[in-house]
Every structure is written in structure tokens, then in C-alpha cells.
Amino acid sequence: MAHDGGETDSVEELLDDHPEIEMWSWKHGGEEVYVSLDNGKLAGRAFLDDMEERGMGVKFVDFATSRIGFSRE
């Protein structure tokens, strides 16, 4: 299932709606950051909050590949 563009879920909504999201490791590539869903919700919450502060919004969520894409808003 993918969430792409349109209404951007808040970090809280994203984590609350999908308890399977537990940890976030990430790679930076150009304007997008891809996040692997691995182990540790506190790390994920801190990471996503930091991304929001940097002006990066969730672009898509793809649970089939366990990736979240971010883009500059």
C-alpha cells in the first residue's frame, strides 16, 4: 500500500496508524530520503521530527518495500 503526495500525514498520525513501523535507518539521495523500517520507535519519532524541522515532508509510504520517501515542501 502506498501513500503518495496529496495530504501529508503528520509524524504522529503515521506512527499511530502503523504500529509495525519500529525503526528508521536512512540514505540520503538528492532531494529525497528513503527510510527503511527496521527496529526502534523512539529513534523513528526523533528522526521524523528532525526531517519536519528541516522542511522535508513525507512524499510516499510504501509498506510493500518498507520505504518512506521525503521531499522538500
The residue ranking higher by pLDDT, 39 or 10, is: 10
Model pLDDT for residues 20-36, shown as the tens digit of each residue: 654 444 444 444 444 55
Which pLDDT value is given to residue 55?
79
Contact of 72 with 17, CB cutoff 8 Å: no
pTM: 0.36
Q: Domains in the chain: how many in total?
A: 1
- Under DSSP, the state recorded for 66 is T
Model pLDDT for residues 11-67, shown as the tens digit of each residue: 566 667 766 654 444 444 444 444 555 443 444 566 777 777 887 777 766 666 666
Contact of 39 with 20, CB cutoff 8 Å: no
Name the residue range of residue 14's domain: 2-72
Which pLDDT value is given to residue 35?
55
Contact of 8 with 57, CB cutoff 8 Å: yes
